[in-house]
Structure 1
Amino acid sequence: MPGFVLIVRARDDADPLMRVGITVSKKVGNAVIRNRMKRRFRALVREVLPEAGLPGADHVLIGRNSGIERPFDDLKAELVKALAKVKR
């Protein structure tokens, strides 16, 4: 099971800007864990989204329990795979 849920929605406007939202609920852990997870997601988005993201769309990452202990390279591969599915 991936460490996050990805939701992508096209805005249908003329702006090619990609917007990102990150959320991690209290079910995942305390504030320290949630903030660490958000920092990892921000770094992940900076690396992957410019090449693999959908222009003119909103991308939302929702953290899951397994996301904090998963290696960064695995999260990166999962995000690339999820974005490839969305592009199809």
Structure 2
Amino acid sequence: MWKMIRGNYKEFLRKQLPDSLINFEVLDANIQAKKDYVAPVYLGLATLFSCQVKEPKYCHDPQFGWGSFVGGELKIHEVPGDHYGMLREP
């Protein structure tokens, strides 16, 4: 869609596309790449550090959503805190 807009804009106005529309074109490309990407299965040993305070959408899954991405063994270690607390320096 953005390629069509860019082509029409350049053709009729003979100007460079504004940065705001270039950013939308990049966003559009990123959205399409996300739709097209299929993550490969990792066949080795994976270690997951799981926080004690979990997001409700993963509470029912013992592998917390990682099972379909790991074909080998998945070791899970529980650590104190929540998701964002794990990212902070102790």
TM normalised by structure 2 equals 0.24
More helix by share: 1
Report 1 or 2 for greater relative contact order, CA contacts < 8 Å, sequence distance ≥ 6: 1
More strand by share: 1
Larger Rg: 2
